[in-house]
Amino acid sequence: MPAQRRMKAMQTITLDAEVGQVSAELIRRGIPASVRVHVLVEVPDHDAWPMAALAQEGGAFDGLADESDLYTDADLKERAG
């Protein structure tokens, strides 16, 4: 019989803080700096930050710089224009 996993209670904290102040706010609320946290970020005024900036700053596509291109000009059947 496999060992049963012990479920831990998860505490939820909602912060309304500026990006640079999240760590300080957690510490102010008594969360030690050594504790690992799961963070969900919601940007209330998403129109203030264009999607291209979100993608670039988020780093989700950074790993693509190390990937080779899937297609090159040699793959073209005909050139546009």
| pLDDT for position 80 | 77
| pLDDT for position 1 | 47
d(CA 44, CA 28): 23
For the chain, the domain total comes to 1
Overall average pLDDT of the 46-55 stretch: 72
Does residue 39 form part of some domain? yes
| pLDDT for position 81 | 66
Does residue 7 form part of some domain? no
Work out whether the CA dihedral 36, 39, 23, 51 comes out positive or negative: positive
| pLDDT for position 38 | 85
Does residue 12 form part of some domain? no
Average pLDDT for the chain: 79
Residue 43, pLDDT above cutoff 80: no
| pLDDT for position 11 | 79
Q: Which domain holds residue 60?
A: 19-75
